[in-house]
Structure 1
């Protein structure tokens, strides 16, 4: 990837000026994008999503309620619709399309909900359907075989089968477009046996591990069930380690922050879920100051309703001042690119130029929403909430041009999901 144009935001805080963007996808043909009047950034990396929830947004009884009420309400909706490969594909198509259209080139999908007692082959079909949806649109996917109250042996067997089928040679496909990881939902839903079973799969296949910790219900249940806090349990169960990423981290003590940092584990901030649901605000400044690499994630449509990572970076800046110093725009953008990519073990996804994966976004900042902006990088996040990139490139190939998907029509994707849900509601 050769960057020669616009205001190009490279890895870290550096900014340089140029005019055009030349795309290199490995072929002899070079495509050039006119980037005058634009800011060019690495592709955004959504480190924590639940793509299935794209089919279950704004459900009654799921807004501003305790997590102990939210979880069964969402479970009831999943059960009523029926989780299978067809629904997974339709929901993932919507979530990936939404992501690409908002500048997210890589999505980590923590898939937690499975048809209870289904054959292992059915779980592989769900994972494959999700991966196929992403590949059809040209995005990068990290499929996280998650667990939420699953039988440990079944969860382990399913994760092993999914890794064997989708990434048989080391956790990532040769083209880098698909990665598989594993991760229980958290100590509130899964016990030590499940954490151990998925850790064994990770060791066997060379996979990253991911989980969630220290939201409101997570701490309460851990104290009630074990008399311990979640970080204590993760440490005891071998899940504080450099290959582990922990999402949320809202309610962490100074000692827990230190222990996470010393372990080399990374974290993911998800304000678009935690703030509107009233589940808390992570103390990002303290986590970063301790040396924890932090990424940014939207979480799923069941709590966030949107998959717009740049908007959540803006929200992260807005609420940071309530619990510490305000988060600078460059730090928030760094979390949405470099921090997220490091947590995936994929630093090449987070920068432009030599050694990059060829993922970038071209943001037009020449309109009235950006007029008067003194710092184009700060303006990218602060001005024009919900902005769309003009062009998005993955692995050197355009997947969004002039604000529209290259490989599909977004209204067709939306309509397909709506019709599927309506058909199942009528049948149920």
Structure 2
């Protein structure tokens, strides 16, 4: 067993339980005890000195494009559509080697920022690129993170009224067949699963209505979750009104794309009826504050979504539109953007932490196993070191984590396994990852 003690504990359970001086006990891949004061049980345990630290659930990243780690820094002053137009031809040249290097680097950066579970929305499958989905899954296993990759797809090219060029789209039937094959090959339905697959056609402007509709039918027949981009920009809203005669949320609704098995990336441009509809259907939202800022897309109505009962998690988004790639920093970004939109009471530090933990677990359908520190849940634990200069003098440890500078990790456990110790990756060599990523980026350039 592992006992973390002497630390502040923010459980993020339904009651918001916190301990100023507490402990977390892990046995195998599960949490077996959480409480105040020192642990008084069996002495034959591995003890972790948590003094000066805050223990929280591991963070959950609900939206990413890991292959984009090899294309950071492009199209620096473009809106989404211009950014995509510049990058689609570059992404058409990715292959399994590039995807593995980019995914490993991106997942390692996520781990160093407190993330224990990440999704990945991969929708570019070059014909000669090899098994790029398997490459990302292998990278996650190497780094040691819990992984929810989605099998994305695009079948609506520019010649058919969409945005992407022919080189990066698939035949509709082929995309559906490949999605089914990915579920059969990789999806783990066990409670402690390290890999689960979701179905994820890319967006209204890159996917035909048929693919959207049949992908939803496939996901529900297989009992897996659904994910797509929606309502990210004003240009997308104009596209949907012109092409389909309705808003993005109305369009998704008409195709069976709202429900408690769906989470949507961005959801920035929503009118009150759309917010209410997401709440009524239990549809989740992956809020990506830094990416939305980088592309000038706008500020998602997070307070309104939470008040409507919408599950809201945090997403880093693809590293080509969020070059830092850190999930811990999104706690602060989410709070700042919510307050820019709705004032200083729009989001608290604890609500922001909940977005990054339990909110993300709800989006991914893992609320029974992840998102809070409670006995019986998976031992995905972040132990943040708040003892340094950057956090000195902030009496509230949750406020120190959210409002202060990026906190180093004394320990990051995924299923009870140490992935980060004293701010250093335990599973992979960071310098080797950086070398491999630089080589992949150079190859694409």
Q: TM-score, normalised by structure 1?
A: 0.92
Structure 2 distance, partners of 1:418, 1:174, is: 37
The match for 1:24 is: 27
Q: Runs ≥4 in structure 1, deviation > 4 angstroms?
A: 1-4, 26-30
Which stretches in structure 1 are left out of the alignment for 5+ residues? none
Cα 1:118/1:220, change in 2 over 3 Å: farther
Structure 1 distance, partners of 2:80, 2:29, is: 47
Which stretches in structure 2 are left out of the alignment for 5+ residues? 31-41, 156-169
1:47 equivalent in alignment to 2:62: yes
1:411 equivalent in alignment to 2:417: no
1:309 equivalent in alignment to 2:327: yes
The match for 1:35 is: 50
Cα 1:172/1:52, change in 2 over 3 Å: farther
2:116 to 105, 108, 119: 105
Residue 325 of structure 2 aligns to a residue in which SS? coil
1:336 equivalent in alignment to 2:337: no
Instruction: Give aligned pairs, total.
Output: 412
Structure 2 distance, partners of 1:5, 1:353, is: 17
User: Aligned-pair RMSD on alpha carbons?
Assistant: 2.0
1:199 equivalent in alignment to 2:216: yes
Structure 2 distance, partners of 1:160, 1:173, is: 19
Which whole-Å deviations, capped at 9, do the CAs of 1:175-226 have from their partners, x for residues lacking one?
Answer: 4111100111221211211112322331232111011111113212111211
Residue 413 of structure 2 aligns to a residue in which SS? strand
The match for 2:134 is: 128
CA shift, 1:3, in A, is 5.7
The answer as to whether partners of 1:22 and 1:31 remain within 8 angstroms in 2 is no
> 1:264-343 to 2 correspondence within 5 Å?
264-325=282-343, 326-343=346-363
CA shift, 1:264, in A, is 1.3
The match for 2:9 is: 8
The match for 2:263 is: 245
Cα 1:414/1:245, change in 2 over 3 Å: same
The match for 1:66 is: 79
> 1:114-263 to 2 correspondence within 5 Å?
114-115=125-126, 117=127, 122=130, 125-149=131-155, 150-167=170-187, 171-172=188-189, 175-216=192-233, 217-263=235-281
The answer as to whether partners of 1:267 and 1:295 remain within 8 angstroms in 2 is yes
Which whole-Å deviations, capped at 9, do the CAs of 1:17-72 have from their partners, x for residues lacking one?
Answer: 3355543225998432211110000000011111111111111xx22312221111
Cα 1:226/1:214, change in 2 over 3 Å: same
The match for 1:421 is: 441
Structure 2 distance, partners of 1:11, 1:282, is: 23
Structure 1 distance, partners of 2:441, 2:73, is: 15
The match for 1:357 is: 378
The match for 2:99 is: 88
Structure 1 distance, partners of 2:132, 2:294, is: 30
The answer as to whether partners of 1:22 and 1:30 remain within 8 angstroms in 2 is no
The match for 2:419 is: 399
Structure 1 distance, partners of 2:410, 2:113, is: 9
The answer as to whether partners of 1:23 and 1:397 remain within 8 angstroms in 2 is no
The answer as to whether partners of 1:20 and 1:33 remain within 8 angstroms in 2 is no
The answer as to whether partners of 1:105 and 1:140 remain within 8 angstroms in 2 is yes
Structure 1 distance, partners of 2:178, 2:349, is: 41
The answer as to whether partners of 1:21 and 1:34 remain within 8 angstroms in 2 is no
Residue 194 of structure 1 aligns to a residue in which SS? helix
Structure 1 distance, partners of 2:146, 2:110, is: 10
Residue 322 of structure 1 aligns to a residue in which SS? helix
CA shift, 1:364, in A, is 0.8
Which whole-Å deviations, capped at 9, do the CAs of 1:337-361 have from their partners, x for residues lacking one?
Answer: 0001011000121111312110011
